[in-house]
Amino acid sequence: MTTFAALGDSITLGMGDPVPGGWRGWAALLADGLHEPTLHNLATSGALSDHVESVQLPAALALRPDIASVVIGVNDTLRGGFDPERVGASVARTVEALTAAGSVVLTMRLPDPGQMLRIPGGLARPLARRMAAVNVELDAIAARYQTVHFDAASDPGTYDRRNWSVDRLHPNERGHRMIACRFWDAMASGPCPGGRRLGTRPDPAPSSQPPTRREEMAWMATKGTAWMLRRSVDLVPYLLFMTVREWLMGETAPRALPPGTEHAAEEAVVDHAGLHLRVGRRAPRLRRWLAVGRVVTDSGHIAGLLPVRL
């Protein structure tokens, strides 16, 4: 028997790969390729690295898993007060505890959401830099603890539109099957103890037809409506905020800021508490996007907006 504990966020939870009664996802597909598997999917939507460490890790250790996956970090990059070293330290403690308990640990180098969402470069660059910083930490953790490390950031299949669900943030069935196959192949080809627990390789071919354009539109009109509303009031404004903040701090020089934001710098104030962006009359479009009069970067929130959850 092989006990598999899957820790992480909505990608590990299986969002994008619906089955009757809920989600399936890459962890369940990989479990089908293990010898006499028992899967415990502990992932939760919107999870951060500290949640995995404080909540999911104790539950996983109680299971004494033979194999454990720790795929986390995307949500951390979308938070105010982002600190890649703090994220890395939390993930390292999680991986260290699982390794010390005798588990074969699976980790993932995370892809760039900007490429998947195909957002403009000025908005995508701050997010890409954050993701790159997290990946530096994850690569170091993988090397230190000899995890089975899937480089999703460099895999061409990651950015194949056929592998992504309509929301562009979660894999569809085909994408989840790709992830399962990549992990299975890595365990099968390397000098990894997990290779002894492998069964039949997961089938990379989807078991169902991909949704038609009409079905995708129907999903967006029903279940996708709430998702679109959340994305409209948290993700897009936050990406805009990060772009303007970096521009004002001199961290980057975007080729072109969104129209109507060029004069926001005139009323920017920097003090010891962080960057306070005061949106004045000369930046009506920026004021409308941010929907607030002041944003404090180290608070972890954008006042009046919902937290980003993936």
CATH number (domain holding residue 155): 3.40.50.1110
Average pLDDT over residues 88-99: 98
Per-residue pLDDT tens over the stretch 187-240: 998 756 666 679 999 999 888 766 666 655 555 555 544 554 454 444 555 666
pLDDT the model gives residue 12: 97
Whether the pTM exceeds 0.85: the reply is no
> Does residue 78 belong to any structural domain of this protein?
yes
Q: Report residue 152 as tokens.
A: 């999703």
237 shares its domain with 138: no
Kindly calculate the radius of gyration of the chain based on its CA atoms and give it in whole angstroms: 20
41 shares its domain with 172: yes
* DSSP 3-state of 154: coil
- What domain count does the chain have? 2
Average pLDDT over residues 14-30: 93
> Does residue 204 belong to any structural domain of this protein?
no
Per-residue pLDDT tens over the stretch 150-189: 999 999 998 888 888 776 678 899 999 999 999 999 999 8
Q: Find the domain containing 155 and state its range.
A: 2-197
From residue 52, how far is each of 71, 252, 267 by CA, in Å?
A: 10, 32, 39
Among 176, 158, 175, 173, residue whose Cα is nearest residue 207: 173
251 shares its domain with 286: yes
DSSP state string for 162-199: GGB-TTSSSB-HHHHHHHHHHHHHHHHHSS-GGGGGB-
More confident residue, 14 or 278: 14
